[in-house]
Structure 1
Amino acid sequence: MNTLSELENYCYQVAGTVGCMVFCILSRNSIENNRKAVINVGIALQLTNILRDVHEDAMADRYFIPKQLLLKYDIQKQVLLESKPDIQTQSLLQYLARLALSKYAETDVITNQILDRKGKVALELSINVQKDPNKINEK
């Protein structure tokens, strides 16, 4: 993966499309009016997965961090193999985390349109567990 745009496209293909399908199942509203929000939350979920597994993925020779960002933050791929990230790697991961959080901002747009209580709670819980695993203790 070379660019941030390619990473976002990958995240869309992996999770954004699934989000569109789930939204259509759980909501009676048109996906057309909500597509952007649904896709953004799907991208956020996949970015969260990537951030959570950076070290494990690197150990398996899988790299999802774009070369563009590795260059910008002056990080060599092999640094991702280290169990404790250095300052540059922490900065890069924080940048991607802020990007994910900005996309999670549209969660309420989606969940407020789910009429079935069980479906709504299940969706909110799955998003909150990804976004912040500590939140499940607050519910």
Structure 2
Amino acid sequence: MAVSNLVVDEPETDAAAVTSSSSFYLAMRILPATQRDAMYRIYAFCRAVDDIADGNAPRPERSAALQRWREDIDACYAGTPRPLLAALTRHIRTFDLQREDFHAMIDGMAMDAAADICAPDEATLDLYCDRVASAAGRLSVRVFGMPDEPGRALAHHLGRALQLTNILRDVDEDAVINRCYLPRELLAREGIAATNPSAIADDPSLPRVCSILAERALGHFREADAIMDASPKKTVRAPRIMSGVYRCLLERTLERGFDLPRPPVAKPRLRLAMIVARYALF
């Protein structure tokens, strides 16, 4: 639990340090001070519960640590937060952040903590994406100042686009830790047995599965773009950068391809800087 004690009510510079390795850091940096600090602390919460889920502690200990976070979030809404959560509690009130979205994020991490996920069915994969990605989006769009309906729609589509991009980029990294998030229905269509993440990652039919999932991600990116095109520019500058960064990562992943061997996907830093400059400056 060291991470959770580190991140949530230190000065803004310390919260930023926790966030600085994120692909979203530059998107957060362009926000006004109060929104920026709120996003740092939301991200710090996400990092804390993610680190618990991905940690090496025995599964019962990870589940207990996530349960303590549920209780901590409830204490924020009761007005009795731990001192380290006082700043997050202020942002909860300022931006009317919803308790169920924090709980959904914890529930998503609990899915990873409970067992090694291997080829979930489509419904379970979509639930996982909603919890670990779109729930964070629903918190974020309130900070950005978007109205409820387009904000929730953007969180739905952009969250899924980002998470599917992560899944496609990290097939081999996930297999090393005995996980596979590719849906079993797509695997079955290509005759791939959904039993062992390493065997799935090495199957010669895997590229066809990944191309289908990539088209799905691109569809979510297009839906997110349409929502942002119809929204006031000042409310979507940060999600524009988030979308641009991850779309670039997806493009790099597709350029690399899914045939073996698959080298890691490097971030194209010059292109990312151009994306940030486009929406930060103009």
State if a TM-score over 0.5 links the two structures.
yes
Say which of 239, 242, 247 aligns to 1:131.
Answer: 247
Q: How does 1:59-98 map to 2 (within 5 A)?
A: 59-76=176-193, 77=196, 78-82=198-202, 86=204, 88-98=205-215
Consecutive unaligned residues in structure 1, runs of 5 or more: none
Distance 1:27 1:115, change over 3 A: farther
Residues matched between the structures, number: 133
Whole-angstrom CA distance in 2 between matches of 1:50 and 1:112: 29
Q: Using a 3 Å threshold, how does the CA distance of structure 1 residues 28 and 39 change in structure 2: closer, same or farther?
A: closer
Displacement over 6 Å in runs of 4+: none
User: What runs of 5+ residues in structure 2 fail to find an aligned partner?
Assistant: 1-118, 250-267, 276-282
Map 1:89-108 → 2, pairs under 5 A? 89-108=206-225
The residue that corresponds to 2:135 in the other structure is 17
Higher RCO (CA-CA < 8 Å; seq separation 6+): 1
What is the CA distance between 1:34 and its match in structure 2? 4.1
Amino acid of the structure 2 residue aligned with 1:50: I
Identity of aligned residues (%): 27
Secondary structure at the aligned position of 1:32 is classed as helix
| 8 Å Cα contact 1:16/1:38 also seen in 2 | yes
Task: Say whether the 8 Å CA contact 1:38–1:110 is kept in structure 2.
Answer: no
Map of 2:80 onto structure 1: none
The answer to whether the 8 Å contact 1:3/1:69 transfers is no
Shift of 1:28: 4.0
TM-score relative to the length of structure 2 = 0.42
Superposition TM-score, scaled by structure 1 size? 0.80
Give the partner amino acid of 2:272.
I
Q: 1:124 to 1:28 in 2, by over 3 A?
A: closer
Q: Residues of 1 paired with 2:217 and 2:146: CA distance?
A: 27
Q: Which has the larger radius of gyration?
A: 2
Equivalent pair of 1:27/1:115 in contact (CA under 8 Å) = no
Deviations 1:48-92 (A, max 9, x none): 11111011101110111122222111123433343xx62x20010
Q: How much is the aligned-residue C-alpha RMSD, in angstroms?
A: 2.3
